[in-house]
């Protein structure tokens, strides 16, 4: 059995945003081994607009964890790094989402792969395109580049 290729989205808009992204990436090892990281982008908030701007990044990684175990690990890392429950789409120290897990299509309570909002979120598609613009969405059949061309990217800027 080979390791699964996963794409994870990291976001932070509270405290030391860049430090939070770096701490999250370091906390993934050894269960989740990062093989590539996108550039970091500063993005306008999505969903709840009255909050600070986010820093967003996408990581390509390999893991032996099953999808549910991966989600559990990611939620544990978020709490370990200081995330506390808040309003939906509200400000947060760190947010780690599973975007893709190989070419798996999975619908469980609390876990949908691919991420159900992936194709609508420029703040995820822009950094994902850095790593895999030709990757096909397993359900929609479109490439990341095609999905990106269909969304408004005006609120996204490279960070430093």
Residues catalogued as catalytic: 83, 92, 95, 97
Q: How far apart are CA 12 and CA 19, in angstroms?
A: 9
Contacts of 141 (CB under 8 A, 6+ apart): none
| Dist. CA 128–CA 57, nearest whole Å | 8
C-alpha dihedral over 72, 75, 77, 79, to 10 degrees? -130
Strands (E), the chain: 4-12, 32-37, 41-43, 54-63, 95-101, 106-108, 111-113, 156-158
Phi-psi region of 24 (alpha: psi -120 to 50; beta: other; left: phi over 0): alpha
């Amino acid at each position: 059995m080979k390791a699964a290729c996963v794409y994870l989205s990291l976001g932070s808009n509270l405290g030391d945003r860049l430090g939070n992204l770096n701490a999250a990436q370091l906390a993934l090892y050894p269960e989740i081994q990062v093989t590539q990281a996108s550039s970091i982008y500063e993005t306008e908030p999505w969903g709840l607009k009255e909050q600070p701007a986010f820093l967003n990044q996408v990581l390509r990684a390999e893991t032996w964890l099953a999808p549910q175990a991966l989600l559990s690990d990611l939620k544990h890392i978020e709490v370990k790094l200081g995330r506390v429950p808040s309003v939906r789409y509200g400000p947060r120290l760190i947010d780690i989402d599973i975007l893709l897990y190989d070419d798996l299509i999975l619908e469980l309570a609390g876990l949908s792969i691919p991420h159900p909002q992936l194709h609508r979120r420029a703040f995820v598609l822009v950094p994902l395109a850095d790593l895999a613009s030709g990757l096909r969405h397993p359900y929609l059949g479109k490439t990341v580049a095609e999905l990106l061309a269909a969304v408004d990217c005006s609120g996204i800027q490279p960070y430093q």
